[in-house]
Each structure stands twice: as structure tokens, then as C-alpha cells.
A and B are shown apart, each in its own frame.
Chain A
């Protein structure tokens, strides 16, 4: 294929490097330095997609970030990515892209039938039509809309690319490398400030790349290149291209997405695909420039209609003619600049200027070149379906209300300029209350909210001379404040052509008897008529009009449509534009890849994984692991073909008959030290702690101030002023913060220190009737008899030369001990226990068996202490002191907490003694009652009782105290189960607690 629309010479592309690429399956060629858009246009391809609602043919409208149409699905290195703007995607060898919004193809699109039905698809259409009948939404409407709409498909594969996050601090962050960004950066850098200059495009220079100006006796482009080259070698400056600052957050935190690899056929080894920068800047200079505004006319969405600045950029940067018979439609001098460029390349444009008479240096130049200029002329409608073929034009009256006779004029593109809209998104995101500037019919930043300043075109200043002067000054003053240096730089002389006043005209009236669609929002297909309907139906606030019509809600966020939408509302409502106000700008300014936001925190890095010192032993012994908070814990140890149920039953049974060992390292551990340690515990726990002797452990329950149980665990008095507190695995961090809160803020007079020791100690629970025999062999020099180490006793021991702490505490309800050694000896301890325990038939047990053992004993855990229960609900009221005060005590007097029929922990057994009850099942009186069936309680935990060999569950049941012996139903609509059950005591096994004391 030839690149028929590429001019012989010129442009900033590398003509020595030809690249091949595919679009919709067809192979084309372009050059290094092209975007996908410029390469397609060089090949005369204007049809790139279909519009969102009416599926009308769509081409290219812009040449960069503002592009509303040319959104494609990209294929690169075996991956696919949706929502890529062809105007931003740089060309690389082998690039493949496809149109979106087309089904089955871009040339024949079924959805385009919407275009002929458009009278039925006005504003709010989806809201009104698809609401009824309700059942149709799910089965018919939604699948249809999903198939026919959308901006591409996300890959369902794992993303092989890597994304990185970077945190950076600087004195001055500059958003945009146009004239104002370069001047500001240069001045600040010369004062020694730490500067970051960010440019979203591959090339630096912004408007200087395409404008015909002189700075310091060189062309604007050469001046920009010189400045960038100098900045790049300065150690205090970071210069980044392909980097979009998309969000301005609190306290001068800005976020930037750097496309590291998107312009390459594949990502280089060790490189990320994108890098997300979190930048905390002392000062921010917003030099984001402006975006050309369209003029609204009939069929203004036809491929071939585009912004005049885009046409100029395709020509000057890429050497591409967007047409050979261009029509330029303008209300200001910018259109003439584009026309002049066409003319210089041997193409004859026709200029339609809505102004009656306008004179300026630029217009003079156009006239001298012999360009055909028609004043007081407008484009009424573009003609042609998949590409502009001609235009209906007419003269327009001075009041812009009456059209003259319609003439048809042949053309292959219409370059439109409705003046310029400052890009105020970042300033607005920072909280800056923007103000309307009459002279330019647009909003500009008002009073700075954070440390931000907006300069140049982004501030509504379109004179290059003024921009350069104010930006040098700002860069120098902002940096002077921070570095205390003042290296004066000579401000270069600027030569630019003077331009004349633009025309406030923005929308061409419809000719009599014609009903052309005149689009405001090109991506979401919002036409003038849609906004009219919304206002007629009573929507007044611009925020409501936006949501009802979807104006400005597409992925381009209305960069080319917002102001024209406001103009329309203000005209119909007879209000001035500032009174209508614009909608809120929110980050991100442009779509950002989810991958970039997530960064490296994917897969196993999505959260930290904590492993106990015995982890490798568990792995070697076929442990199947389960996530317990951030910890990995053995759930069971698989033997042969056992499943979870069989293995956990075997392990639990072995604890009840012989002895088992469980890794309890994950329990939270907090050292509590100081003369007032006992007093602190006494206030934190519900039971009494002042008289606990040294060498004794006690079980405690702590509440929140609202009376709800926060956590439970045992705390042991190691020495006079030293306690060892344990918490549940899940609450370890919260309990530490809780203690710190009271010590630092509420009772600073208490002389106590707390510190987490969770990672300092490895823990093994040894449980079962033979545990004492085993313990004696592990600690032959210690007296671990019932007298020497009674229930809730504590001693230190010598484990084959390793110092150990021995606690006689039990979670399983069996005679049990917990042995702690310093973490580095954890594996040694574990191996010794297994080795010595062999003669007692020891088996390791996991969390599943641990649960079984505690459930059938009626011990509460996380599933009962669920943030909704008080001590009474958990049958823990015996631990609530009546004598002393403690955190949350006063709340227990609340009437709901003292109600006679208060919910309470009970045991539940299925009548058939066979069917396991799903956790979360509701307990109801009548399984046939009409819905919603009154719920009396819920199943909190279920197990297979190894003691009785039948299912057993715990439940929190209303009036549980008086429900023992009642017959109810456990219903689980999720599992589609209804199980008749009997309510029994929660202490299913060893209700008197004799075993732990044996």
C-alpha cells in the first residue's frame, strides 16, 4: 500500500524507518514517529469506528488526548487492550488494532439501524424504555445493549506486563511542556530548584511544534528543542515524555502515568509497561494548554470533519494531508493558520469565516497566498455517509439567525475551529474555583486553592509573548522562594503574528425543513436536540442535564463538548454561561490502565504473606494451607487420598484419644510491662486481674466501649511487672492500637509499655490425654505434674538446651499445654515434639481439627465474636466483674443488652444426626412460614463432633437460655437446605470441664 496522503518531505517522523501494521485485518505502512491515527490518515483511512448509540461512522476528530472517536482495541505481543486512542498510540512494527462499537464489521454495522431509528433514541431513552417490563431488562435489553455497545473488550487472560509505582518529591512540578512549561521549568531549574517536567506526548514543545513563531531568533520548535536538551542534562531536573499527570489530589499530591513501553512492539526485559508516579510537589505549574473547540453544525460527526488544529498537526508533525480539498470553517484566526499550511503544501483550501469582517496579519498572509476566503459564511451540514463528500454552505446574517441560500460545495474534509478552551482540569481538581472569562467564552482558573499556578493557554492567555514572559517570571519566583537563589535569565524576544478578535458564534441554525443531527458530544452521541429535550423535561442543573443526556460522560470526559453544551443550556435557559456553571472535573483526566493503578500488588503480592517458622515442615508433611488473615496456616495434613473432612476428623480424634500438636505461632502476642501493668489489664479486661500471681495465666475478654466483645485470649504473669498477653490472630493489630490508645490518650498516668512480640515467639499447642507424658519427656528436668504445673499454670523450661515458656492452657478442651520458644528455634522445637511424641502416637493437626475441637467444647471464637455480640450472648457473663469498672462496662446496662429474651450461644444437633448444617443458616420456628420467615438466630460454626460422631453446630439464638430442648428448623436458601434440628447446650463435650484440669 502506498501512503497516498503523505507529503514528500517535512514532518517530524523518521522516514528512514518504515513500519508495517494491521488495522481491521488489513496491512498498511507508516513511519517511526507516527501515531496509529497519522499512519491511517497517511493511507487515506478515515473510517475507524462506529458511534456509541447510533453506530454512525466515525473518523478522526483530533490529534491527541482530546480525541472522542478513534478509540480502538489494541493487540500487542499476544495481549489485548481496549479503549486506546489511535491519536495517542504510537506506531510500532507489527502493531495490530481493530475498531470497536462495530458488529459485525466497521463497514456493515447492525447497530447503525439505530441511526435510522434515532427519533426513538432521544435523551433518557435508556432510562425510559428499558425500565419496563422489569423482567425484560435482565433477559433481553441488557444482553443486547452489551453486545451492541461498548468501547472494546478487556482481556480475560492474566496480564503478563509489570507495572510499577514510584514516589517522588520535588520543588516544582510542571504539567505540560509547551511554551509556558518550558519557560517555567528553565527559570526554576536555573535557580537550582528540583523540577519535574511532564509531557503527555512523545515530543516536547506542545504548540511550538506546529505554530509559526520565533523565540530568541529561532523557530519556536528549535527553541523548545534547545531548552529541553539543556534541562535534560541538569541534575536537578527530571524531564518525562509520554507522561500524563491525570490527578491533582490533596496537599499537592499529583499522580502521573508514564507509558514506558506502549510505543514498543514488546516491553523490554526488566522494564515495566507503565509507571505510576505519586508526586508530592511544593509548587505546581499547570501549563496544560488548550483544546480547540468545535462549531456545531449538521452531520458534524461525519468522518472527515475534524478540528483545524488537528489537521495542522497531522501536516506539520506527521507530514500527512487529511484531505486534498479541504474546507476550513472558523470563527477565529486559527483556521487561517491551518489553511496557510495547506496552501504551502500545494493544496487549495476554502475558508468559511463566520465573521463579517476580520483583519489581521494572519488573514493578510492567507489572502496574499491567494486562499479563497468567504466571510459571513457557515457550513450548514456535511454531506457523505462514511466520508465527507461535500458540504452544504450558506451565508449567515449578522445576528447569526438567518441562513442565506444553501449552496453545495465539494470537499473531502472540513477543518473546524470554534476558538480555544483552556485545559483547566488539574486546577479544578485541586479545588480551584474557576471563573468565566468573557473575552474567550471559556472558564479559566480563579484563586489558587493549593500551591498551584496556571499559565499560558491553560489560563486563557493566547499571546505567546505574554505566556513566555509570565512563565519565566513565575518559574523564577516560585523557585526563588524555595532555593533562595536568584540567577537572572534574559527573557527571549518573541515574534508572533497578531490575531483578531474571534466570533462568539458556536452553533449553526438548522435550515427550514431540515432535521440534521448536530452533535455536541461526539463520543456519547449527544446532539443539540437531546439537550433540548432534557431541558423541556425539566432538567435544569447542568449536573442533571449531564447525567440525563450523558453529555461529557464518555471516556474523553467531554474535552471537546463541555463548553458547547453549556452554551446551549445558557441560550435556552436565557442565562449567562457562568450562571449555568460547569460540571465538576474529577480525576483521572484521561483513562488510566487498571494495571498501572494496581502496580506490583497483584497475585501473591496483593497482600503480604506471613509464615510461621515451622512452615517448611508443614509443607514437607503435606499440609494443605488456609489464609488466616495475612498468615498461611495448615488447615489439615493430607494422608493418602484423604479429603478435608476425613483428615480433620482423624486429627481431631487423635487429640481426643492420644495427643496432637498444632502450630499456634500466629496468635497475637503483646508484652505488657510496667508497675501499672496489672491496673491496665484490670481496666481492659472484663474480669479481675489485680490478684493474678506470678506464674499464672488467666483467660480474659475485652470489650469495646459500646459493650461489644472485641477479643479474647489468655494473659500470663511472667514476673512482677511483666505480662504476656495473647490475642486472636485476626485482632492482634487492633488490640495493640486499642491498648496504645488508652495508654497514650486516656490514662497517660499509667506507667506501662506495650509492644508486639508476635514474631518473636514460635508457639506449639500440645493437646490430648497423653500430652503430659509427652511434656515430661520434652522437659525431663521440670516437674510438669498436675501439682507442679496445674491448670492455668506457667513455668519456664529447658527444651534440649533451648529456653522455653510452658503454659498450661487449652483451646481444645483437652489436657493441653502451649510451648513457646524464640522464633529461630521454632522448627527445632517442632521437630523435637514430633520426634519424642512418636511413642504417644502424636499427629500434627490443622485449623480444621482445631475448630472441631473448640466447637464441640462450646468455646467461642471469631465466628461468635463477630462484632455484634456482648459477653452474655457468648455465655461469658461469668467473666464480667460486678465489682470493678472496665472498658465498655457502662454500655452493658443498655436496655437491649439486658433484655430477658436476649440472644445467646446454644448448641444445635440435626434430628437425623447425619446432615451437616451449613454455617450461616437461619434458625426458624416454621419452615413453611411465608417469607420473610422470622429469623430466631443463625448458625455461627459447624463441625462433625468426633466425640459423638454426628454433626454439631453452635448458634446465636434469640432467648437461647430458654430454648434448650426446642425443635426448630435450620434453613439455608443458599444451599437449598431445610434441616430439622434440636437445640442443646453449647457445652456438648465435657460440660464440667474436667479434662483440662485432669
Chain B
């Protein structure tokens, strides 16, 4: 079971969180015309990366904040975690 450092609450076990997918996906702006390809990329197309992956988790049984987690998908090592509005350098 992963041990995730919630930037708001501290180290908590994985069973307090729910997974939210790739954090690098950006939703097209509201009211903006987008091509089929752009929209498909946003809704469906994901890379199944091996290695470092920036992903979303929600601390549903804690502070309810969505956070970003930089995790290795092969080793499960977690490098860093970020608040929702934090820029990932």
C-alpha cells in the first residue's frame, strides 16, 4: 500500500485516496472550438508510461483536495507531491 504525502495533511496511506489519472492532461478551454483530434486526445488518448508519471489523486477520506503525485509506475516510488495549483517544475 502506497504511502502518500498529502501536501495539506502529511503522510497518509493509500486507502484514504482515490486515483484520478494523468495530471498532465489539460482540458480544452470552455467555449473554445476544438478539433476532433484535440478532443479525443483530451478524453481518450493516454500514454501508458513506464517510469516517472505525474498523476492526480484525491484525498477523499481526508482533506478532499485533489493533489498531484509524481510516481514511478514500475517501482511505485513517489518522488514529490504537489497541491492542485502548484506548478510542477
Contact = CB atoms under 8 A, between A and B. Distances in A.
Interface string B61-86: 00011100000000110100000110
B1 A748 contact: no
Nearest to B74: A431
B20 A251 contact: no
Interface stretch (A21-29, A153-161, A578-586, A738-746): A738-746
B85 A748 contact: yes
A250 interface: yes
Given A251-B76, A748-B84, A280 B13 contact: yes
Given A683-B30, A744-B66, 5 more contacts: A251-B78, A253-B1, A449-B75, A705-B43, A890-B34
B1 A249 contact: yes
A167 B44 CA distance: 39
Interface string B23-64: 000011011101010010011100000000000101010001
7 contacts: A167-B13, A705-B42, A737-B18, A740-B64, A740-B66, A741-B58, A891-B39
B88 interface: no
Given A744-B65, A891-B43, A885 B30 contact: yes
B2 A740 contact: no
A627 interface: no
Contacts of A741: 20, 58, 66
Given A705-B42, A748-B84, A737 B30 contact: no
A740 B31 CA distance: 20
Interface of B (DSSP majority class) = loop
A893 B33 CA distance: 12
Lowest 4 CB-CB distances: which A-B pairs, in order? A251-B3, A744-B84, A885-B31, A744-B66
B39 A746 contact: no
B60 A737 contact: yes
Nearest to A683: B30
Nearest to B75: A431
A330 to B, nearest CB: 42
Given A745-B66, A890-B34, A250 B1 contact: yes
A449 B72 CA distance: 14
A449 B76 CA distance: 11
Interface residues of A, number: 26
A343 B20 CA distance: 67
Interface string A574-615: 000000000000000000000000000000000000000000
A394 B27 CA distance: 78
Interface string A744-777: 1111100000000000000000000000000000
Contacts, number: 57
B84 A745 contact: yes
A364 interface: no
Contacts of A746: 27
A142 B13 CA distance: 43
Contacts of B28: 890
A571 interface: no
A740 B58 contact: yes
A739 to B, nearest CB: 11
Contacts of B66: 740-741, 744-745
A251 B84 contact: no
A706 interface: yes
A250 B28 CA distance: 36
A280 B18 contact: no
A105 B75 CA distance: 50
Contacts of A740: 58, 64-66
Contacts of B27: 705, 746
A518 to B, nearest CB: 40
A251 B4 CA distance: 9
A253 to B, nearest CB: 5
Contacts of A744: 65-66, 84-85
Contacts of A249: 1
Contacts of A253: 1, 3, 13
B65 A251 contact: no
A815 to B, nearest CB: 38
B65 to A, nearest CB: 6
A741 B57 CA distance: 10
B39 A251 contact: no
Contacts of A705: 27, 42-43
A747 B26 CA distance: 11
Contacts of A706: 43-44
Contacts of A891: 39, 43
Interface string A150-175: 00000000000000000100000000
Nearest to A167: B13
Task: Name which of A251, A253, A746 has the most chain B CB atoms within 10 A of its CB.
Answer: A251
A278 B13 CA distance: 11
Task: Name which of A250, A278, A745, A891 has the most chain B CB atoms within 10 A of its CB.
Answer: A745
A891 B27 CA distance: 13
A746 B85 CA distance: 10
Nearest to B11: A280
Contacts of A252: 3
Interface string A682-697: 0100000000000000
B52 to A, nearest CB: 16
Contacts of B13: 167, 253, 280
A166 B44 CA distance: 40
A746 B36 CA distance: 20
Contacts of A737: 18, 58, 60
Contacts of B32: 885
A229 B58 CA distance: 46
Given A740-B64, A745-B66, A251 B1 contact: yes
A517 B39 CA distance: 65
B58 A251 contact: no
A885 B31 CA distance: 5
Interface in A248-267: 249-253
Given A705-B43, A741-B66, A250 B58 contact: no
A83 B27 CA distance: 54
A449 B84 CA distance: 30
A280 B27 CA distance: 37
A449 B75 CA distance: 9
A251 B75 contact: no
A250 B76 CA distance: 7
Nearest to B42: A705
B22 to A, nearest CB: 12
Contacts of B42: 705
Interface string A702-720: 0001100000000000000
Interface string A415-452: 00000000000000001000000000000000001000
Contact of B3 (A280, A431, A683, A890): A280
Contacts of A745: 56, 66, 84
Nearest to A741: B66
A686 to B, nearest CB: 14
Contacts of A167: 13
Nearest to A884: B31
Nearest to A707: B43
A251 B43 contact: no
A891 B28 CA distance: 12
Nearest to B28: A890
Nearest to B20: A741
A101 to B, nearest CB: 36
A748 B84 CA distance: 9
A449 B43 CA distance: 36
A240 B57 CA distance: 36
Contacts of B2: 250-251
Nearest to B29: A885
Nearest to A169: B11
A280 B66 CA distance: 24
A888 to B, nearest CB: 9
Contacts of B36: 893
A770 to B, nearest CB: 43
Contacts of A747: 30
A741 B64 CA distance: 10
A706 B40 CA distance: 9
Interface string A230-253: 000000000000000000011111
